[in-house]
Amino acid sequence: MEAIGHPTFVTAAQETDWDYKRASYGRLSTRHLGVEAGLGTLGLEVNILTPEFGPRIYLTGILTELELEPDERITEQVCIGESCSRCLHACPADAVQHFGIDKRACAGEAQEYGFMTMLQYMERVIDAPAVERAAMLKKRDMYGFWQGLLRVVGSFGDCPRCLAVCPVGNDYHLHLVDHQKVIPERTPAKLALGKRWKADRLEGKPVAGLSPWNERWVGPEGYKGMVAKQLAAFKRKTPE
């Protein structure tokens, strides 16, 4: 784009503005940009779900002065919703809410060696008696922080469960279905919660994650069988 005269740059997808709630928040939500760009819609666990790859994608943004025609937004829900609830069943932290997420609970699994954990640990090291400090600095946690800083491993996206079990996307049927059919984390309580959410929605009860403001990104038309249709088309194209 620059070669044809339009100043353009790629945004840093994981940049954090520390003034926003002291955690990993930036000025642009690439998930929401992805919805506006017609790539997908937000799922029960509020990852963006694309019809092709479900939630198993990373997004970034490109800022440009070139004026482009936007693609159409997907207005039906890509997420199967409450009758699926596989992400709710698989989440080890009980962080999945009804088209929402408990970020703090999720961070315990997904950012095991994240920035806040590192700061809190270092505060404990500073406050510890001198005789304990050397041992604390040699603990496995320090290796985790080093690896997180160096390679992002452990400091970001460390829990794969809601991504792995989501049946949206042809990649799920190609690579994951046999391994992810059974969800070991599923409990009677989680099953009951998913059923309750389904009943609440059918009865039209207010759902925070489906407020008029949020609905735009979840898919205001609701789930209309996109995943089933896509799977049938995929099976026709892909012989056993």
86 binds ligand SF4 (CB under 6 A): yes
Tell me how crowded residue 211 is: count the other CB atoms within 10 A of its CB: 12
Judged by beta carbon, residue 121 or residue 223, the one nearer ligand SF4 is: 223
How many other CB atoms sit within 10 Å of the CB of residue 69? 4
Query: Could you tell me the smallest distance in angstroms from the CB atom of residue 92 to ligand SF4?
Result: 6
Distance (Å, rounded) from C-alpha 46 to C-alpha 74? 15
Residues 6+ apart with CB under 8 A from 164: 90, 176, 179, 180
Confirm or reject binding of residue 74 to ligand SF4 (CB under 6 A): no
Is 135 or 182 the residue whose CB approaches ligand SF4 more closely? 182
Q: Which tokens sit at 138?
A: 């040699």
Taking the C-alpha atoms of residue 227 and residue 225, their distance in angstroms, rounded to an integer, is: 6
First-residue to last-residue Cα distance in the chain: 42
Bridge partners of 118, per DSSP, are none
126's enclosing H/E stretch is: helix 115-127
Q: Establish if 118 lies at the interface with ligand SF4 (CB under 6 A).
A: no
8-16, 30-38, 95-103, 115-123 -> range binding ligand SF4 (CB under 6 A): 95-103
* Calpha distance 55→130 (Å, rounded): 46
Among the listed ranges 67-75, 89-97, 119-127, 148-156, the one in contact with ligand SF4 (CB under 6 A) is: 89-97
Among 35, 95, 193, 210, binds ligand SF4 (CB under 6 A): 95
- One residue of 35, 39, 118, 168 binding ligand SF4 per CB under 6 A: 168
Q: Which of 35, 39, 74, 106 binds ligand SF4 (CB under 6 A)?
A: 106
Residues binding ligand SF4 (CB under 6 A): 43-45, 49, 79-81, 84-87, 90-93, 95-96, 101, 106, 109-110, 159, 161-162, 165-166, 168
